[in-house]
Amino acid sequence: MQQIEKWLKENTFHHSQFSNIKELVDLKQRQNVTISLCIPTLNEEKTIGKEIVLFKSQLMERFPLLDEIAVIDSGSEDNTLEVAAAFGADTYLASEILPELEDKKGKGENLWKAIYQLKGDIIVYIDADIKNIHPRFVYGLVAPLLLNKEVHYVKAFYDRPLAFSGSIRPSGGGRVTEILTRPLFSLFYPELTAIIQPLSGEYAVRREVIEKVPFPIGYGVETSHLLDIYEEYGLSAFAQTDLDQRIHRNQTTRALGKMSFGILQTFLQRLRSKHEIENFPELNTIFRQFQVRDETFETIEYNITEYERPPMISVEKYREKFGRSNKKK
C-alpha cells in the first residue's frame, strides 16, 4: 500500500503542469529524441479532420513537439483517409504495412504496425473519435517521458461523461474498467490498481520498450501492455496524466460484453504463461449473448479469439530498418 501511495504522489500528474509547451520542445531537442503521433482509425471521417488540424497547427507548426502525425487505417469505408490526407497527416492502410504477413483486422494491429511505420523514439497513441480534442492529449502524455528517463509508459485518465441526446452527464464511463479490469488487477496485480484508467486509448511510450512486447490485435491490447511492461520493469516504469475530460461516442452494453470477453482472454493467457499455472484449462473462444425476437429468445454467438502479434523486435524487416537487435538489454 505504501508503494502505491508513493507512486500516486510521484507519478500522477495534471496536464496543466506541462502547459509550457516551449519548455517541452527545449527538453526534446536537448535529448535529441523524435516524437510520432499515431491515430488508429476505422470510419472516423467526422472527427479525424479536427484532430489533425489541431495537432498539426499547435504541435508541429507553432511548437515543434511532434515530428510526424500518422493515421493507420483498418480499411475505412468512408472518407477517413481522404480527410486525413487533405489536412496534412501521413496516411497508411494497415494491410499495406508489412504486407508479407497475413492480414489481420483490429485496433491492436494498427498500433503494432505503427511501430514499424513511424520513426519516433517516442510514440503517442490517440483515439480518433475524441470530440473535445485539445493539445493536452499529446503534451500531457509526452511530458513525463521527457522529464524522467525512468518512466517508459504514460497513460491518460479523465472523466468520461456519458453523452445522451446531446446532453452531458458529469460522471460515468469506464464501465469495463470498473466491473472487470480493476477487480482482476485487485486480485492478481494490486499495484496496477493505482492506474486510474487502464483501458484508456491515449498513451505515450518509448520505442525501446513497446517494440519488445507482443500485441493482441483486438480488445486486449491495452491490458496486455500494462501486464507485460509491469512484469519487466515494475510500477515505476509507468506514469499517468489527468486530461480532465474526454467526450466520445459510447458503446452499448452488448458491445462492452464482447470487449470484456476479449480482455479476459488476454488476462488469463498471461496469467497462465507468466506464472506457469498447471492444469490451466483451454479457453473457449465462443461468446454467447441473447436477444428477443417475437417473444422468443435467440442466441447470438461470436467467435472472439485474441490473436497476438509477436514483439516487433522479432520481425527481421523491423530490425533491419531500425538497426535493432532482438536480444534483451
Q: Is the pLDDT of residue 173 over 60?
A: no
Contact 161, 172 (CB under 8 A): yes
**Each residue of 220-269: pLDDT tens digit?**
999 999 999 999 999 999 999 999 888 866 778 888 999 999 999 999 99
10 Å CB burial of residue 164 (0-12, 13-18, 19+) is exposed
Q: Which range among 33-37, 259-263, 290-294, 318-322 shows the weakest confidence by mean pLDDT?
A: 290-294
Give me the pLDDT at residue 163, please. Answer: 45
SS (H, E, C) 118-164: CCCCEEEECCCCCCCCCCHHHHHHHHHHHHCCCCCEEEEEEECCCEE
* Average confidence (pLDDT) over 195-219: 95
Compute the distance between CA of residue 145 and CA of residue 205 in angstroms, rounded to an integer.
Answer: 8
User: For residues 175-204, b (16+ Cβ closer than 10 Å) or e, as one string?
Assistant: bbbeebbbebbeeebebbbbbbbbbbbbbb
Q: Which three cell numbers stand for residue 144?
A: 513525463
Give me the pLDDT at residue 294, please. Answer: 81
Question: Which of 120, 129, 138 is CA-nearest to residue 76?
Answer: 129
Compute the distance between CA of residue 275 and CA of residue 263 in angstroms, rounded to an integer.
Answer: 18
**Each residue of 42-100: pLDDT tens digit?**
999 999 999 999 999 999 999 999 999 999 999 999 999 999 999 999 999 999 999 99
Looking at every residue in the chain, the average pLDDT score rounds to 91
Q: Which range among 27-36, 60-69, 175-184, 243-252 shows the weakest confidence by mean pLDDT?
A: 243-252
Q: Is the pLDDT of residue 282 over 90?
A: no
Give me the pLDDT at residue 293, please. Answer: 82
How many residues does this entry show for the chain?
329
Q: Is the pLDDT of residue 18 over 60?
A: yes
Give me the pLDDT at residue 172, please. Answer: 41
- Cα 290 → chain centroid: 30
Domain limits of the chain?
Answer: 2-160+197-250+310-322
This prediction has a pTM of 0.91
Which residue's C-alpha cell is 503494432? 112
Give me the pLDDT at residue 329, please. Answer: 43
Give me the pLDDT at residue 166, please. Answer: 52
Q: For residue 171, what pLDDT band results from cuts at 50, 70 and 90?
A: very low
The residue type of 229 is I
CATH of 2-160+197-250+310-322, one of 3.40.50.300, 3.40.50.150, 3.90.78.10, 3.90.550.10: 3.90.550.10
